[in-house]
């Protein structure tokens, strides 16, 4: 049980069984109480830090998603759109990561899975919108 009651105000948080399962009904199915990762209890300790960078290797990410864009990593060592690999890491203009399928600098998600995974990790929490990420 969360002692400080750290729960976010995101509109769909109550549907996120994996984070906090109180036996609530989601889409007609009743959950199993406490079959979750005890996220509110963890958030009593910390809600994460913007200094922690998490890489998601998946189908890409919708970096413009309204519940993700504020938390999307930006490569400060790379100048966008100048056609130069400014930081010398082998990838030109990789300001948001790299698309290894198309070999370009636009990792926009084409199927949605990567965006879903990124949201589980880093959707903006407590912004009265959508879901909340673990961090």
Residues that bind Ca ion (CB under 5 A): 10, 34, 36, 38, 67, 78-79, 82, 84-87, 89, 91, 93-94, 124, 127, 129-130
Our CB check for Ca ion shows the closer of 96 and 114 to be 96
Q: The tokens of 24 are what? A: 């609530």
Closest approach of Cβ 134 to Ca ion, in Å? 12
In Å, how far from its chain's centre is CA 85? 27
Task: Say if residues 10 and 132 touch (Cβ distance below 8 Å).
Answer: yes
What is the rounded CA–CA span in Å between residue 27 and residue 99? 35
Our CB check for Ca ion shows the closer of 59 and 105 to be 105
Our CB check for Ca ion shows the closer of 27 and 128 to be 128
Q: The tokens of 95 are what? A: 């300001």
């Amino acid at each position: 049980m969360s002692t400080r009651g750290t729960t976010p105000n995101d509109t769909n948080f109550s549907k996120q069984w994996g984070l906090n399962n109180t036996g609530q009904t989601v889409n007609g199915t009743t959950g199993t109480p406490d079959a979750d990762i005890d996220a509110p209890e963890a958030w009593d300790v910390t809600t994460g830090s913007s200094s922690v960078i998490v890489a998601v290797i998946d189908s890409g990410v919708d970096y413009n998603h309204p519940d993700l864009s504020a938390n999307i990593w930006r490569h400060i060592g790379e100048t966008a759109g100048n056609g130069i690999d400014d930081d010398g890491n082998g990838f030109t203009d990789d300001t948001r990561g790299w698309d290894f399928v198309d070999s370009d600098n636009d990792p926009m998600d084409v199927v949605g899975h990567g965006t879903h995974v990124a949201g589980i990790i880093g959707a903006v929490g407590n912004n009265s919108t959508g879901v909340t990420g673990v961090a």
